[in-house]
Structure 1
Amino acid sequence: MLQVGLIVVGAPLLTGLMRQVRARMEGRSGAGIGQPWRDLRKLMRKKPLAPDGTGPVFRTGPLVQVSTTLMAAAAIPFVSVHTGLGGAADLIAVVALLTLGTATLALAGLDTGTAFGGMGASREMTITALAEPTVLMATFALSTRVGSTNLPAIVDAGLKDAGRVVSPVSVLAAFALAAVVLAEAGRLPVDNPSTHLELTMVHEAMVLEYSGPDLALVELAASMRLAVLLGLWSALFLPWGTATATGALPVAGATGLFVLKVGVLGAGLAAAEVFMAKLRLFRVPELLAGSFLLAVLAVSASFFL
Structure 2
Amino acid sequence: MPADDPLAPAAPGQRWVVRHRLPDGSATDVTGWVDQLAPGHVHLGTADGQRHVVDRSTVLAARRAPAAAGGPPPERTSADELEHLSVPGWLALAEPLGEWTLRAGGGFTGRANSCHAVGDPGVDVAEAARRVVAHAAAHGIPPLASVVDGGEPEAALRGLGWVDAYVPTDVLAVRLADLLGTAPPDARARVTLDLEVGWWNAYGESRPNDADPGLLRLVLAGHPPRAFGSTGDPARPTAIGRGHLSGAWLGCAALWTRPEDRRQGLATAVLRRLGHWAARHGARYAYLQVATANAEAHAAYERLGFRRHHAYRYLAPPRTAA
Alignment TM-score, normalising by the size of structure 2 = 0.23
Greater C-alpha Rg: 2
Q: Which has the higher contact order (CA 8 A, sep 6+)?
A: 1
Alignment TM-score, normalising by the size of structure 1 = 0.24
